[in-house]
Every structure is written in structure tokens, then in C-alpha cells.
A and B are shown apart, each in its own frame.
Chain A
Amino acid sequence: MRRLVPLALCLAATLPAAAADLNLTVEIPALKVAEYHRPYVAVWVERDDHSVAANLAVWYDMKKADGEGSKWLKDMRQWWRRSGRDQTMPIDGVSGATRPAGQHQLRFTDGKPPLGALAPGHYELVVEAAREVGGREAQRIAFDWPAKTPTHLSAKGSDELGQITLDLNP
């Protein structure tokens, strides 16, 4: 499945851009710790008043017996408070399994779920990671929507998150 992602990106690059899009890279750092569990990660778009404009991704352990994985969703504390606690999991087209260390590319198109039609305005992209027997970190990237020109933005996590890049295309 992951092999298809670069292919999809290549195809996207050769096609004329039909709608504004938002390309995201989230790096999960490789950590040298005695007990490693893949982090739970939530990615969402927040308005100035901290309300959630779009949930883009929620990676959690969906395979554990009896929905045991959902017990730790609350550890993504900001996401849980802003949005998670109002959701019924899994969220169609948003939630998925935890991912290993490495770079993960995500692409969202204006008007299509899960991004939907984002009203013009100022937003923050938030990436929050929480790891069992580990730490918690949230990184924010402020952006204006829609972008007038292709825009490259980034943030760098220090513990549970690595490099995060956000590319906006008009």
C-alpha cells in the first residue's frame, strides 16, 4: 500500500492541478529506547479559536483485542480535547493503523474528504504524537488558506516527532 503513495504523487505532479491541495510529510523518528511502541499520531487543521476545521489523520492501534487500543487515544491530549472525544472511532477515511519510524507522506485535496472545503482564512496544522511508555509532543504550522503561490512550510519536532513539512499548492 505504501508503495503506491510515491506513484500517486508522481501521477499528481504530471497532471494539471484541478484543486488546491495540501501535501504533508510527517517524520516519526527512530528512537533508541529500551521499550519501543509506535506512537499514536493525530493530524488536524485548527481555526484561530482552536476549533477543528478538519481531522486529517489519526493513527492508533486498531488491531488490539476488544478495542484496547482506543484506551490510549486520550493520550493525544490536545486532539482528544479538541475533537477526539466527540468522535466515534474509527473515523472513516481518517483513522488508520500506527506507522513505523520514517517519513510518511500525506496528500489532501480541497473539497474532498477528509480536508473538505476549507473556508479562506488563517489556520494551524497540528501534528500530535503520544507514545506508550514514552513522551508526547505536538507541533504546529500556521498557514493561510488558500495559498496564492506554492508555499513550503516546516516545523521540527524534538522528541516524538521529526521533520514536518507542509506544502500548499494553489
Chain B
Amino acid sequence: MKHAFVRAVLCAALVLPFAAHAHKMWMVPSATVISGDDAWVTVDAAVSNDLYYPDHFPAQLDQLVITAPDGTTVKPENAATGKYRSTFDLAVPQKGTYRLALVNQGLFANYEVDGQKKRWRGKADELKTAIPANAKNVQVSEMSSRVETFVTQGTPSDGALKPTNKGLELVPVTKPNDLMAGEKATFQLLLDGKPAANVKVVAINGATRYRNAQDEMDTNTDKDGKFSFTWPTAGMYWVNASSEDDKASVKEAKQRRLGYTATLEVLPQ
């Protein structure tokens, strides 16, 4: 019961960013640049208003997919979900870049039964049984979102960063764990494996609690899906892109909402 409630609220939180820039979902690793063979990181994951202060809901770790530099999927350790955040530890024995991703794919429906507004979130094969036959004004949307961060032991590598060609994804031009204040970083955004042209991308330095403005930077992807930011200061940056289209994979859904978020650490010179 409690789980269902959390799910319901969380799905609202996940959908909200598309409607209003309210809640932000993120993962923050304790370190992104790592040396030593017996290295670990610990990671927080949450949905919150401020970056990076867990004040709203924990992220759901059943969506977590961790890819090691050799392309294999690895498991987190000590995973726990608390009131405001989820946490897990990750051993990083391999040299190269690890990709940590919260991958969320599913359907979201609004409908009315006897004049009462209802909401539902779930998988495509659950849709038929989930919504009662007498439901009216049924509106189904498909959601595809990916929330990522990166951790590199030794030299950055690309093995874990191969796109899955589903939804919005980031492809590095500049390595995501090689970012320095004052330097320009370039990435490519893909939509279903093809360059996502003319998509707005925002970047916010995470320490929003210690300043009065969001200081949001934004840019648009070019025809090749590429975009760049020159980081003004060091910090953990929240980089987000979202778009909508009508290429839903189920016929009941008229619309598809797509999101991509990365937490990128920028170090001082």
C-alpha cells in the first residue's frame, strides 16, 4: 500500500518536470574522478526541488542500470531507500568510465471514472487491465527518461557509453569525467539513436541553496544534436534536456515525453 502511494507520488514527480520546472531527479556520486585500485564511490539518488539536497522523494533503485567500462552490467552494494533519498555503494575496480543510469520507461494515463479524475502509471502490458472499461477522457502518454552520472577510475573511456538507441541519450565528445572550469565541453544528444536537433538543454550548477538565483545556462542542440557549455565555475552541474513527440510505441498513447538528465562534475583548474 505504502509502496503504491510512493509510486503514485513519484510518477507525478517524474511527469511534473515536463509540465513545470519543479522537481529535479538526480544521482550524485561522492567522487567522479578516482585513483587507486581498491576504489569505491557512494551515490545519492533523489527527486528534489533544490540541487543537490534531498527534500522530496527518493529515487527508485529498481530502475538503476550500472555499466562498467568493459560494457558489462554491474550491481550496486548496500542499496537502501530512505524517506528522501536512495543510496548505494559501487566498487570501481576497472580502469575507465562507469555509467550509472536510472532508466524509466512506461505509460502514464489520466482518466475519469464517475466524474473523478484518476491517474495511473505502469508498463504497456498492464494498460488494458489497469484502466476500467467505464473510464472516460482517457489520455495515455508514453514516458522515456534517463538520469545519469559518470565515474572514472584512471583514464576516461567510452566502453560504457554506447547508446542504447532508445529515447534521449548523451554521447560524449568531451569525456564526461574530464571537465574543468573555464573550459568548453561538447556533447551530442541522440533521440532513438539519431541526432536530436534543436532540443533545448539547460545546465545548473548544483549549489543552488547558496545563491538566490538558479543561474540556469541554456543552449540548443545543432543539426547534429551537438551542444556545448563553457563551465563558469567548478561544481556538480545538473544538465537536462526534454522533448515530446508522437512516436509512442503503443497505439493507445498519442504522445511520448522524453527526458535526459546528467550530473556532471566540473573541477577547478
Contact = CB atoms under 8 A, between A and B. Distances in A.
Interface string B13-42: 000000000000000000101111111000
* Residue among A69, A81, A84 facing the most chain B CB atoms (10 A cut-off): A81
A71 B34 CA distance: 7
A72 interface: yes
Interface in A60-86: 66-74, 77-78, 80-81, 84-86
A90 to B, nearest CB: 13
A67 B36 contact: yes
A80 B38 CA distance: 17
Main secondary structure of the interface of A (DSSP, over half): helix
A73 B178 CA distance: 16
Contacts of A78: 269
Contact of B34 (A66, A69, A74, A77): A74
A71 B39 contact: yes
B178 A81 contact: yes
A70 B37 contact: yes
B155 A73 contact: no
Interface residues of B, number: 16
A71 B36 contact: yes
A67 B33 contact: no
Main secondary structure of the interface of B (DSSP, over half): loop
Nearest to B33: A74
B186 to A, nearest CB: 17
B197 interface: no
Contacts of B36: 67-73
B154 A67 contact: no
Nearest to A72: B35
B33 A80 contact: yes
Nearest to B156: A85
* Residue among B31, B35, B154 facing the most chain A CB atoms (10 A cut-off): B35
Interface string B151-168: 010110000000000000
B61 interface: no
A112 to B, nearest CB: 27
A161 B119 CA distance: 62
A73 B33 CA distance: 10
B250 interface: no
Contacts of B38: 66-68, 71
B35 A84 contact: yes
Contacts of B185: none
27 contacts: A66-B38, A67-B37, A67-B38, A69-B36, A70-B36, A70-B37, A71-B34, A71-B35, A71-B36, A71-B39, A73-B36, A74-B31, A74-B33, A74-B34, A74-B35, A77-B268, A78-B269, A80-B33, A80-B35, A81-B178, A81-B180, A85-B33, A85-B35, A85-B152, A85-B154, A86-B154, A86-B155
Interface of A: 66-74, 77-78, 80-81, 84-86
